Structure formats: structure tokens, C-alpha cells
Amino acid sequence: MSELFQVVTLDKGRSLITNQWKMPQGIEKVKISESLNRRLAIDLMAAEPVPGFDRSVVDGYAVRAADTFGASESLPALFNIAGEVGMGDKPDVTLQANEAVAIATGGMLPLGADGIVMVEYTEKLDDETIEVFKPSAPGDYVLRQGEDVAAGSVVLAQGTVIGPYQMGLAAAVGYETLEVSKRLRVGVISTGEELVEPAAVPKEGQVRDVNSYCLAGMIEKSGGIPTLYGIVRDDSTLLQRTLDKAIEENDLVIISGGSSVGVRDLTLDVLSEGLIFHGLAIRPGKPTLAAVLKNKLVMGLPGHPASAAIAFYLLVQPLLKWGTYKNDEQTVWAVLNRNLSSGPGREDYVRVKLLSDNNTTVASPVLGKSGLIHTLTEADGMIRIPLSKEGLCAGEKVEVILF
């Protein structure tokens, strides 16, 4: 199958996937309170303005601002207390000249009032009279009707990943349920002659399957629904049967690559019919491959957990999270603390730990022999050395893509 091994750039690999795989576009309705981390399938519109009325943002007195002009500590303005705004009520008074109405934060301005005097700048002389020590301008401490959200505006755009505040905002504009994209179901098959299940005690030559569990975690964290199909050894019938089942039951299947040539060839064999690329110009992650079989995307990821993770972050996570390869990861700038070399003709991705040193965020590459597992947990993000660069120097500023 080696004639199929044609290394493509990451961008090319991504466009091959989006061109050749028709991603499921299913929509479902969920309650707001169960919408955390889901992705909005539609633009969320506000039917009415928020707030629906002019509102005080402090505790104080609603006044006609003009009546306070010139008020000072030495020459306070006198107001008659014309009542109190009941929280949640529409006030039934209309303010006359030199009248003030007590109002709490969030209360509705009475008719005639156009400004608020904070309670701190007033003194109550008796039940009917206050002194005001500071002038108020029209609009002071008032949140106008629609100032927060205008009626008819889009408050959250389609594709938004819903966090706690998006949940609150959706409630504010009157949604009980949200239309969100269905979570993609992702099957995971581990291949490798040397692999045993976590519960087994490995014999000499054997190691436990790590990738299935890292991938299950990454899939769930990205918004997918993982299903593990266990370990397949050097057995083409079993691999084919497991793949068929995983394709049947999922939207996307990941085959975590075996190290042995035999298993690698088997994987290629079962994917060859729908292969869309085999090999990416990235390190780590070069042996990544993609196929479309029965309209399902099948990704072959490298066997090394760290390499599989990078390939997952670049090719699978964006699809699960955003349904597209939009470039929307949170990044921060940091200072690299050692030189890093890179080869020509490939992008390098280096996992880094973020440290704080002398009021600076430092990116410290997580190094060590290939295949180490205990270092996996140390990285906070990764940096990219583009195709055009031969490396990065200690002290250089680098953009860290946070995991």
C-alpha cells in the first residue's frame, strides 16, 4: 500500500476531510440548565429588549435631574419624598418638580424621573424630605430600556459553545430550551500486538492500552460521546468486524495505530477503499491517516499517546467542538525557555508547560524520550513551529494554544 503514502500539509488534510466527509448536522433541544458545553445550532434572538424598562443600577432616589442642578454639600437641594418604587412593580406615581421616589437597585424609574441620586449623597431629614448633596445628570445610574440587549438582536450566534454566562444570557432573553447540535458519537479502536487491557498484568513484551483512555477523555472534553471497542491485534477479520461495528454505531471512528508493521498494514488494508490521505507534514503525528467509509470519517492516529494527542487536537477536536476547523482556540503569549529545532517541510508541535517567572509567563517544552506516558500530564498547551521556520530560540515569544 506504500504508493498511497503521500504526505499532505495540515491545511490540505483538513480541507480533504471537510470536502469528502459530510458531517452530521443533527439538532436537538435541551433545557438551558443542561446546555453547558453544547453548541448553538441557531442564532439566538432577543424577542424583547433587556431590560424591558428604564432601571436603576444603584440604591437611591429617582429624581428629575434638572432639580438637582447646583446641589452641593454646602447647598443641598431639598426634595419631597413622593413614595417608593416596589421591586418588580411598575411605579404608579408620576414625578413632579422637586419630588424624589426611593428606588432600589433594579427598580423601575417612575414617569417623569430621568436620573438617580445615590443614597450616599442624600440625607433623610424626615419621612417626607431628603437633602441631596450632588447633582445628577439625565441618565445617571439608569440602565435604559434595551440598553443591555436590543429587541430583535442576535445575542448568541450559531456555533457558540455554551458556557455558564451564555446560559444566563439565554435565560435573560426568554429561552427555556436551546436548539443545539447533536454531540458526535466517536468510536475508538486500539490496535497493537503488544497491548493488553488495563486490568491485565502485562507479560514481558506487553504494555497496557493507554490511548483508548486518553482518547475517551479528549473526545468527551471536546463534546463528543466516546465508545471504546477495545484492542484489536494482528487479525484482519477481527479488525474488519470491529471497524464495521464501530462505523455502524458512530459518526466518526478513531483507530489508534499499532506500532507493528503488520497491524499498520492491516489498518491500511481495511481503510484503503476510502482513504483520503495517509501521512501529514506535522511532527509528531506524521503517520496520521483519514478515510471516509459508508459516509463515516475514520481517522488513523499514531500509536504514541503524545503523538495521538497532537493529531487529535489538530484534526478531531475542532470537529467535535465547533463542527468545523475554525481557528478559535484560546491562546496566550509566553517566553520560550530553551531552543527548539525543527526540520524543513513540516510543522512541529511542541507540548509545553506554563510557568510563572518574574511577572512573565514562560513556556517550558515537555521533553523526554518518545513514548513516555508520565510526561503526558505535564503539558498545559502546545506551540507550533511553522513550515517556514527551522526552529525557535530561547527567549523568543511564542503563542501557546491552551489545551
- Subset of residues 301 to 360 that bind a copy of itself, contact rule: CB under 8 A: 303-305, 309, 330-334, 354, 356, 359-360
Tell me if 90 sits within 8 A of 150, measured CB to CB: no
The candidate with the shortest Cα–Cα distance to 316, out of 158, 180, 181, 188, is 188
Nearer to a copy of itself, 97 or 394 (CB): 394
Main-chain dihedrals φ then ψ at residue 347, nearest 5 degrees: -95, 135
Nearer to a copy of itself, 70 or 386 (CB): 386
Question: CB 198 → a copy of itself: shortest distance, Å?
Answer: 4
Question: CB 332 → a copy of itself: shortest distance, Å?
Answer: 5
| Binding-site member from 95, 155, 239, 291 for a copy of itself (CB under 8 A) | 155
Site string for a copy of itself, 62-101 (x = CB under 8 A): -----------------------xxxxxxx----------
Report the b/e string of 238-270 with b at 16+ CB within 10 A.
ebeebbeebbeebbbbbbbbbbbeebbebbbeb
Residue 217 makes contact with a copy of itself by CB under 8 A: yes
Residue 167 makes contact with a copy of itself by CB under 8 A: yes
**Whole-angstrom Cα distance, residue 267 to residue 289?**
10
The H or E element that residue 382 is part of is strand 381-385
Question: CB 82 → a copy of itself: shortest distance, Å?
Answer: 17
| Binding-site member from 101, 170, 275, 276 for a copy of itself (CB under 8 A) | 170
| Binding-site member from 194, 251, 347, 348 for a copy of itself (CB under 8 A) | 194
Tell me if 122 sits within 8 A of 130, measured CB to CB: yes
Residue 42 makes contact with a copy of itself by CB under 8 A: no
Tell me if 279 sits within 8 A of 289, measured CB to CB: yes
Query: 3-class SS at 2?
Result: helix
Q: Omega of the bond prior to 344 within 30 degrees of 0, cis?
A: no
Chain positions 249 to 308 lying near a copy of itself, rule: CB under 8 A, are 258-263, 303-305
**Whole-angstrom Cα distance, residue 30 to residue 92?**
40
Size of the site for a copy of itself (CB under 8 A): 108
Nearer to a copy of itself, 255 or 263 (CB): 263
| Binding-site member from 115, 226, 318, 365 for a copy of itself (CB under 8 A) | 226
